[in-house]
Chains A and B, each alone.
Chain A
Amino acid sequence: MNGIHDLGGLTAFGPIPQKEDEAVFHADWERRIFALNMASLAFLGPVDRARHAIERMNPLDYLATSYYEHWIAAILTMAKDLGYLTDEEIETGRVGQARSLPNPAPTAQMIEGLVRGGMPANRNEAQTQPAFALGTRIRARNIEITGHTRLARYVRGKVGVVTAHHGCHVFPDTYAHDQGEHPQPLYTVRFEARELWGDNVSRRDCVYIDLWEFYLEPLPEGSQQE
C-alpha cells in the first residue's frame, strides 16, 4: 500500500522538534498504551499486522496525531479485525459479545521472557540460497503492492548494490495478512544518493536499506558495470 507512513524523501515537515527531550513517556496513558500493545501481541500480532494497522489510519489523522495515538488506533483496529472486540464494547466499555480467547493472556513472567529472549525473524531455510551475490548490482522492483510492504517508495525502480546477506527472514507482505511466513533471503542494498535523489545532492552520500528478495530484480546481462 502506498501509505502516508512511507515518508522517505519528503522535506516538507520543517525543523526536527524536541531534540533535547529525553523522557521515554510524556504522559501516563502513553505508558499504558505501549504496554497494552506489547502485552496483547500474543493475540493481536504479529508486529507486521500492528504496523499495517497504523498504515491504514486516515492519513490526515496519521500526520496530526502523536506516535502513541497511532498505537491507540492500531490496537483497536487489530482487536476489531480479529473479532476480539466490537464497536459496542469500545463505545460502552463493557464486555459484550465478541470472540473468546484461545488461551489466557501471557503473565508478567512470560512477557519478561519475551522481552529478554526476543522473537527472531530469521528462519533456517537450508535449501534457499540468495539469488544475488554480494557486490551484485540489482534494481528494486517498481511494483504496486496493495497490502503491507516494506518496499519503501523512494527506492522503487532504483539501482543499488548488494552489501550484506542476512539469511532468510519472514516476509512481512504475507505475514501481516495471515498468509504465512514465506521466509526468503533478506539483503542490505546500498543506493547512491544521486541514484535516489538526482544530480545535485552529495556524490559521496548513500542510503543502505534492507530488502527481501521479492523486492529485487536482476539487471540486464552485461550491466554489472556502471
Chain B
Amino acid sequence: MSEHDHHDAPASPYNRSDRSAEHDQALAERVAKIESLFIAKGLVNKAALDKLVDLYENDLGPMNGAKVVARAWVDPKYKQRLLSDATAAIAELGFGGLQGEHMVVVENTSQVHNIVVCTLCSCYPWPVLGLPPTWYKDAAYRSRVVVDPRSVLTEFGTTLAEDVEVRVWDSSAEVRYLVLPERPEGTQDLSEDQLVKLIDRDSMIGVKKVQIS
C-alpha cells in the first residue's frame, strides 16, 4: 500500500482554510445570533464563554505535554509511573481535567512507533495538548492513518525502517492517548527546561520525531 501515493486524489474539500470572506462573515453573523439567543434564554453565561476561550487559547496547550515528556526523559521513576498510570503521573505536574480524565501514555522506541488518531470524531488529550490542530480533525488524516500510517508519516517527513512496528491508537472511547517520543541523541547535557523547548505537539501525537533544532 505504501508504494502508492495519495496525491492523485482530489484535494480535501473538508476543513478548508480558504473560506471566502463572505462565507466567513455569514458564519460570524450566524454564531453571533446564536450567542445572543443563548445568553438571552439563559442557556449560557457570557462570562463562562469568555473564560472557556481564555482557558483553551492561553492555558492549555502542548507546552503542558512537553513538560510531562521532559520529566519522563530525565526521571526514570517518573517515566515508570507515567507508563503505568498516566492520569496520576500527569496530575503530579498539575495537569488534568476535561478530555484527559483517562490518560494512557505510549512510548516510542527504536522498534515501536506510536501514532494517535480519532477516526470517528476528533478526540484529543486537551489538558496536555490543548485543542487539536486542523489537520488532526481533517478527513484526510482521520481516514488514512489507520490503513496506511507510513504514507501519513512520510507526509510529515517521518521515515521509519521497515522493521519498526507502527501502532496506531484510535481514540474511540474516553481514553486519551499521548505519545512519549524518543529522546534525541546529543541531548544528554540539556536541562529539563531546555528539553521542554525541543518537544513539539506533533511528536506527542506521533507524526514526527523530536528534532534537535
- Give Cα distance in the complex from A19 to B134, angstroms: 8
A79 contact set on B, CB distance < 8 A: 38, 43
Chain A 106-123, CB-CB to B under 8 Å as 1, else 0, gives 111011101111111110
A54 contact set on B, CB distance < 8 A: 121
Q: Across the interface, do A118 and B97 meet the contact criterion of CB distance under 8 Å? A: yes
B166 contact set on A, CB distance < 8 A: 202, 204-206
Chain B 46-75, CB-CB to A under 8 Å as 1, else 0, gives 011111110111001100000000000000
What's the minimum C-beta distance from A95 to chain B, rounded to whole angstroms? Answer: 5
A-B contacts, 7 of them at CB < 8 A, read: A6-B120, A17-B11, A84-B41, A94-B37, A105-B43, A154-B147, A208-B169
Flag whether B155 is at the interface (Cβ < 8 A).
yes
Flag whether B80 is at the interface (Cβ < 8 A).
no
A10 contact set on B, CB distance < 8 A: 139, 143-144, 147
Flag whether A150 is at the interface (Cβ < 8 A).
yes
- Give Cα distance in the complex from A24 to B60, angstroms: 11
Q: Across the interface, do A66 and B14 meet the contact criterion of CB distance under 8 Å? A: yes
Chain B 8-25, CB-CB to A under 8 Å as 1, else 0, gives 011111111101000010
Q: Is the interface on chain A under 10, 10 to 19, 20 to 34, or 35 or more residues?
A: 35 or more
Q: Across the interface, do B156 and A19 meet the contact criterion of CB distance under 8 Å? A: yes
**Which one of A7, A19, A31, A200 lies within 8 Å of B135 (CB-CB)?**
A19
Chain A 157-197, CB-CB to B under 8 Å as 1, else 0, gives 00000001010011010000000000000101000010011
- Give Cα distance in the complex from A25 to B56, angstroms: 10
Q: Across the interface, do B7 and A69 meet the contact criterion of CB distance under 8 Å? A: no
- Give Cα distance in the complex from A43 to B44, angstroms: 9
Q: Across the interface, do B142 and A104 meet the contact criterion of CB distance under 8 Å? A: no
A164 contact set on B, CB distance < 8 A: 104
Q: Across the interface, do A154 and B31 meet the contact criterion of CB distance under 8 Å? A: no
- Give Cα distance in the complex from A4 to B200, angstroms: 31
Q: Across the interface, do A210 and B175 meet the contact criterion of CB distance under 8 Å? A: yes
Which 8 residue pairs spanning A and B have beta carbons closest together? Answer: A8-B119, A210-B173, A13-B140, A121-B174, A10-B143, A7-B143, A108-B51, A14-B9
Q: Across the interface, do A152 and B172 meet the contact criterion of CB distance under 8 Å? A: yes
Q: Across the interface, do B14 and A207 meet the contact criterion of CB distance under 8 Å? A: no
